[in-house]
Each structure stands twice: as structure tokens, then as C-alpha cells.
Amino acid sequence: MTTPLSRIVLEQDTEMQQWVRQFSDGKKTGGTPMAICFRPATREFITRVSRNLGISAAKLINMVVEGIMLHTLTPRQATVTHMHDRFWQLMDAHRLSLTNVATLLADMNMGVSVLNYLTTPVIGHITALFSISPDWLNGTDDHPVRPVMLTRWSEVAY
């Protein structure tokens, strides 16, 4: 999957660059509907996941394809999106409401609207508060906490 997508990025022409700008700016573009044929197992997977998320299959497919486009065509923007998504995933995991998050950020003289501009000190503060990896929050690591490496059985004995 990565190889054909990287070729697309390398072969960007003026028209492709225009589409990338529209995508990056979040502009909705008109177009004709598209029919896609999926294998039965893939179709069932999409149907079940979309139902569990409470969205249409078309919305789910758009989310997946736009995610691929984001990572392929605008990697810097993808990093910001990762950070924003992971921040809210962290807040949801701790069952913090929007009001709680606003209070948390107020301690750092920040509002919820500036989450796309998290600085290194703010990331450090948030990760220290929740004992998570700064690399996970900024999207460069897949593990929210550092794994513990045990070398001897006696380290886990009570």
C-alpha cells in the first residue's frame, strides 16, 4: 500500500497539488457519486464497524480514505491531527468532560481552541500529569506508556 501511495506523492502535478490544497484546507469539493464493489467479508466488516460507530458505511469509508490521504499527501498536518486525536483519546480515557479539560488547560493559560498548537512544554506538562509518553501524544510512538522490562522473576514476586 505504501509503495503506490508514495509514487502518487512523487508524481504530483499541478492538478494533484490543487486537490491536495483543497483537501488540506478542508474544502468540500463537488463530484459524482462513486460505486465501489467490496468482497463479501470486507463489506460485512464495513457494515458492522459503521453500525457500531453509529455512522453510515459511506462516512466510514470516507474517513478511512481521507486518513490515508492525510498521511500520504500532508504528513505534517497528519502529525497535528494525531496529536489532537490522541489528546482527546487521553481525556476520554480519564472521563474528563469538556469543562474539565478547559479547567486543566486554564492552569497552563490555554483554551481548548489552541490544542492544534501544543508546544513542547505543554506536551511535557500534560504527559507528566497523566504519566504517559510524550512521544505517544505527539504521534511518533504507538505506546502510551513505556513497557516495563523485567529481568528476574524476583522483581515480580510479592
CA 52 to CA 71: how far, in whole Å? 25
Helix orientation angle between 40-53 and 57-73, rounded to the nearest 10 degrees: 100
* In a domain? residue 90: yes
CA 125 to CA 112: how far, in whole Å? 15
Q: Are residues 87 and 63 in the same domain?
A: no
* In a domain? residue 117: yes
* In a domain? residue 56: yes
Lookup: cell for 129: 500529569
CA 108 to CA 110: how far, in whole Å? 5
How confident is the model at residue 95, as a pLDDT? 85
How confident is the model at residue 42, as a pLDDT? 94
How confident is the model at residue 37, as a pLDDT? 92
What is the pTM (predicted TM-score) of this model?
Answer: 0.46
How confident is the model at residue 47, as a pLDDT? 93
* Secondary element (H or E) of residue 134: helix 134-137
* In a domain? residue 144: no
Q: Are residues 19 and 50 in the same domain?
A: yes
* In a domain? residue 49: yes
Q: Are residues 79 and 105 in the same domain?
A: yes
* Secondary element (H or E) of residue 70: helix 57-73
* In a domain? residue 17: yes
Q: Are residues 17 and 67 in the same domain?
A: yes
* In a domain? residue 155: no
Q: Are residues 43 and 8 in the same domain?
A: yes
Q: Range of 14's domain?
A: 2-73
Q: Are residues 68 and 36 in the same domain?
A: yes
Q: Per-block average pLDDT, block size 10, for the chain (158 residues)? A: 61 68 66 85 93 89 82 68 78 84 81 71 84 81 69 59
Structural domain count of the chain: 2
